[in-house]
Amino acid sequence: MSAPLCLVRRSFFALLLALPAFVAAATEINQANEAELDSVKGLGPSTTARILEVRAQAPFSDWADLMRRVKGIKPKQAAKLSEAGLRVNGRAFETPP
């Protein structure tokens, strides 16, 4: 194998190994602490506080439950939060038909 091809292969495999570091990790809303929720793009301190306050009463069953119980989270915001890695019971938000 030629030297340049070998270098390209090594670089490719190094990139593959590093790829998971660039993918947003999922954050489960029913398990996450304040810092983990704050790290989700689109969630600020006031929304995080509301989520934690409401979640203390009962875990969220699904995205519809989250949107019903937490003021300010509607379908458009839910879609953005889901894209940023937020999950409700392991599920991403699905846009209603």
Residue 3 lies inside a defined structural domain of this protein = no
Tell me which amino acid residue 83 is: E
CA distance 8 to 71: 51
As given in the structure block, the two tokens for residue 6 are 């070998």
The per-residue pLDDT for range 37-46, each reduced to its tens digit, is 999 999 999 9
| CATH number of the domain enclosing 51 | 1.10.150
Residue 12 lies inside a defined structural domain of this protein = no
Q: Structurally, how many domains does the chain consist of?
A: 1
Helical residues (DSSP H) of the chain, grouped into ranges: 3-22, 34-38, 45-57, 63-69, 75-83
Q: Judge contact between 79 and 94, C-beta under 8 A.
A: no
Residue 8 lies inside a defined structural domain of this protein = no
Q: Judge contact between 62 and 50, C-beta under 8 A.
A: no
The per-residue pLDDT for range 16-38, each reduced to its tens digit, is 455 444 445 799 999 999 999 99
Residue 96 lies inside a defined structural domain of this protein = yes
Residue 14 lies inside a defined structural domain of this protein = no
Give the domain extent around 79: 24-97
